[in-house]
Amino acid sequence: MAETPAALGATFPRDFLFGVATAAYQVEGALAEDGRGESVWDRFLREPGRVVDGSDGSVSANHYHRWREDLGIMTELGLSAYRFSVCWSRVQPTGSGAVNEAGLGFYDRLVDGLLERGIEPIATLFHSDMPAALMENGGWCARETSTRFADFAEHVARRLGDRVRSWFTIAEPYTLMRHSYVLGEHAPGFRLSTGAALPVMHHLLLGHGLATRAIRAHSNARIGLTNHSSPCRPASNAPEDRAATVLFDALRNNLVTDAVLLGRYPKELEALPDANWSAVREGDLDIIKAPIDWLGLTYFHPLTVTALKPAATPALEPFEVEVTGGAAETTMGWPIVPSGLGEVLTALRDRYGDKLPPVVITENGCSMPDQLSEDGRVDDPGRIRFLSGHLQVLTEAMRSGIRVDGYFVWSFLDHFEWELGYTKRWGIVYVDFATQQRTLKSSARWYRELIESWRSATGQV
């Protein structure tokens, strides 16, 4: 099995994409500049106790002002692609109406800068953030948000579609529904039961389908969406734990892809208490099933599921979910289980067969205890082992016949990690948030060596 970055890089095909990924709110900063409107995260984080260190994304890695420097680092690493998200609040400050030219202009410059450096821009239109004004009608609880999102997508595609050839509409719809509308951990902080929150999922997927139409009108592009997948295992062999695992697996791994690839929702969801499907109208699933060109996959770890015992007060979820499965851990307390990536890829192939489009790994990485040494180095051998292990599993999956078109490390930069603030470091580039100085971690140098080997082996140098 290939282990060195040079040997590993040489195993990938010429048209493979090696990149990094970020999300706008987590890295951009400049929240009150150039006409950007208030976002749901701006409003959410004004509530005490929402973030463990009391921080917010007002500066973060300041990517909005330091993007040229950051693109220079990408060039130094030899990246072939950069996946970024477009902040809806910058482009349409209230979620509708006229475009804010200054806000959209930032992405104009970013895209041009990437192309000048030979790096493919890959735009994600929605990554956990939206204009706060849309909460007046309930955010994604409201069907109207789907059409507003399609309008936003149309504006962005009209401006960038002549240069951006690769798009993702929405990042991880079920993750958004669960953490933002069920568990209340992320903005807007709603706490609905899983069954009651199903309209949120339907409207997200409807927004995806409508946005796909809008993008195709302005760009001959690859279009898809991303899903956060995990192998799901029952906590015991008890029938109730096995049943709970089937239900959670349907939600986490199959809900998005069944709707988009098959035009239906998983039958396993019939077991979901108080399931509210009232948002589904005739013709909606035909819109949601609009053909996609690739499927984004986020993978970090497996999950263990336990059924909840019946209680007088119904729980938000009918199960408990824990991250388990291995000894080595990240600073998130998550195990490092590369084999799980192979499991979810195999499950996709087995479930969808020839309906499965090419897959791209849109997020894979880890948080580690990174520290800047006195001599200005950041050594992160644990992250190197993480990336190497997962890329080795990826090559095995590709040899088995699963088509994977790219791999994006999460994340490019240290950033604002939602409810965990700045207490976790995910980047392969270290950010000193006091000075904004960037430092390549040893994992970034490792990734550069892998990419150099890939370019050499495929005749690109």
Question: Containing H/E element for 75?
Answer: helix 63-77
Q: Which residues contact 311 (CB under 8 A, 6 or more apart)?
A: none
Query: Which one, of 95, 155, 68, 86, lies nearest residue 123 by Cα?
Result: 86
Q: What is the 3-state secondary structure (H, E, C) of 258-269?
A: HHHHHCCCCHHH
The phi and psi torsions of 166 (rounded to 5 degrees) equal -135, 130
Is 329 tagged catalytic? no
Query: Which one, of 249, 242, 240, lies nearest residue 268 by Cα?
Result: 249
Distances (CA, A) of 172 to 439, 451, 456: 29, 27, 34
User: Is 47 one of the annotated binding-site residues?
Assistant: no
User: Is 127 one of the annotated binding-site residues?
Assistant: yes
d(CA 101, CA 87): 13
Query: Which one, of 252, 123, 124, lies nearest residue 179 by Cα?
Result: 252
Token readout for 66 is 């330091």
User: Is 26 one of the annotated binding-site residues?
Assistant: yes
Query: Which one, of 53, 56, 51, 67, lies nearest residue 32 by Cα?
Result: 56
177 within 8 A of 157, measured Cβ to Cβ: no
Token readout for 19 is 């990149």
Catalytically annotated residue among 28, 172, 317, 343: 172
Catalytically annotated residue among 363, 396, 449, 452: 363
d(CA 180, CA 135): 12
d(CA 195, CA 273): 6
402 in helix, strand or coil? coil
Sequence letter at residue 333: G
Cis preceding linkage at 310, omega within 30: no
333 in helix, strand or coil? coil
Q: Residues at the annotated binding site?
A: 26, 127, 410, 417-418
Q: Which residues are annotated as a binding site for substrate?
A: 26, 127, 410, 417-418
Residue positions annotated with a catalytic role: 172, 363
